Amino acid sequence: MMVMHPLLLPKVSFLDPTNTYTVSEYQTACGSADIISHILEVYFNMNQDLFMLDCVIEGLLKTVIKYAPIAMKEPDNYEARANLMWASSWAINGLVNGGKMQAWTCHPMEHELSAFYDITHGLGLAILTPRWMEYTLDETTVSKFYQFGCNVFELDKNQEPMAVAKQSIEMLSDFLFKTLGLKSTLSEIGVDDSKFSIMAQKSCMCGVLPGFKSLNQQDIENIFRMCK
C-alpha cells in the first residue's frame, strides 16, 4: 500500500554522492532506468506546452544517458555519481512537473509486476517503458516522440516525424538493454503470462489509467504481452 502526503516530504536534504560508490553495477543500471521512467512519465504529456521545463527534462535524460555507463564501469567516479544523484532528485521532487496534472502509467503497471514477482523495480520499468511507448505512438502523439528523438538523441530533424519517433524508441531500448545490459523481456526473468490479466486489472483499478494516452485493462494486458 502506497502512502503519499506533502507532510512526508523533507524541507531540505543533503545528498552525498560518495554514499553511492558501493551501489552495484546492476542496481546502478536499474536505478538509472527508474530515473528515466520518472522523467518520461512527466515529459510525455500532450496537455501543456512548457518549453522551459521540457528543456530541463531533456537535459536530465541526457545526463543519465551520459553518466550511467560511466558510474557502472567506475563506481567511485564522483562526477558520474553526483550527476546521477542530482538527476534522480529532480526526477521526483516535483520541480519539473510544472503543474501538469497527469496520471503515471508505466509505474502502476510495474508496481503490480514487482508485487506479484518480486523483481527489481527499475528492471521492470526498463522492460515496460519501450513497449508502452510503442503502444501509445500514433498520429495523435507522434509530435512528442519526434521532440524526444530530436532533442535527446539528436536524430535528424529533417526525417519524417514517425520515422524519428520509431528511432527514438529503438535508441532508448538500445540504451536500456545493450548499454546498461538489462534483460529485455519478461520471459528472461521468469515471468510468464498467467497473471497478466489480474495485473492489468489491478493496474487500472478496474477502470482506466488516464495518462499520456488513456489505457484500459485490455490495453495494459496487451502491453504486458508485448514484453514477453
Q: What is the mean pLDDT of each run of 10 residues along the chain (228 residues)?
A: 78 93 98 97 84 94 98 98 96 82 85 94 98 97 97 97 98 98 97 95 85 92 96
pLDDT score of 45: 86
Residues facing 208 on adjacent strands: 216
pLDDT digits (tens, 9 = 90+) for 159-200: 999 999 999 999 999 999 999 999 999 999 999 999 999 999
Instruction: Estimate the share of the chain in helix, then strand, then coil, as percent rounded to the nearest 5.
Output: 60, 0, 35
- The model's pTM: 0.94
Q: Read off the amino acid at residue 198.
A: I
The answer to whether 84 and 67 have CB atoms below 8 angstroms apart is yes
Q: What is the dihedral of CA 164, 169, 170, 172, to 10 degrees?
A: 120
For residues 223 and 226, give the distance between their C-alpha atoms in angstroms, rounded to a whole number.
Answer: 5
Of 55, 17, 226, 62, give the one whose Cα is nearest residue 154.
62
pLDDT score of 7: 87
Of 181, 157, 166, give the one whose Cα is nearest residue 130.
166
For residues 224 and 153, give the distance between their C-alpha atoms in angstroms, rounded to a whole number.
Answer: 26
For residues 222 and 132, give the distance between their C-alpha atoms in angstroms, rounded to a whole number.
Answer: 10
pLDDT score of 1: 58
For residues 159 and 43, give the distance between their C-alpha atoms in angstroms, rounded to a whole number.
Answer: 22
Tell me the domains of the chain and their CATH numbers: 23-226 (1.20.1090.10)
Helices (H) and strands (E) in the chain, counts: 9, 2
pLDDT score of 2: 65
